[in-house]
């Protein structure tokens, strides 16, 4: 799954490919950091700022947003597996309730 933010206006975030729990990133198409953060904040997915091309996403908000779009019957187990993998890599902050996502940039 990935979150798509388009343009510098940062008006909206689209969560795409919710059933694909083998990847998680934010895809910024022609959007600067301020637009990306603005869009993610407006969607309730982060309260933080970009650091070194990464952004912490709220786990509960991500689960809710992705779960609303997922169609796979085993999606919850696959989502939990994705988060367990991320936790093993040190990308989950259980105290803050966040998972770190890389920001992939496209012009």
Phi and psi (nearest 5°) for 11?
Answer: -75, -30
State which residues form the domain around 10. 2-106
CA–CA distance, 82 with 21 (Å, rounded to integer): 6
Which pTM was predicted? 0.92
CA–CA distance, 14 with 26 (Å, rounded to integer): 10
Quote the number of domains for the chain.
1
Per-residue pLDDT 10s for the chain (107 aa) are: 999 998 866 678 999 999 999 999 999 998 888 888 989 999 999 988 888 899 999 999 999 999 999 999 999 999 999 999 999 999 999 999 999 999 999 88
């Amino acid at each position: 799954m990935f979150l798509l933010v388009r343009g510098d206006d940062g008006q909206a975030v689209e969560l795409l490919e919710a059933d694909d729990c083998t990847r998680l990133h934010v895809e910024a198409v022609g959007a600067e950091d301020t637009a990306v953060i603005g869009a993610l904040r407006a969607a309730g997915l982060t309260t933080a700022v970009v650091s070194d091309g990464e952004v912490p996403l709220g786990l509960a908000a991500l689960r809710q947003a992705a779960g609303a779009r997922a169609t796979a019957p085993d999606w919850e187990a696959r989502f939990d597996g994705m988060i367990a993998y991320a936790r093993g890599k040190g990308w989950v902050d259980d105290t803050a309730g966040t998972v770190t996502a890389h920001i992939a940039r496209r012009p």
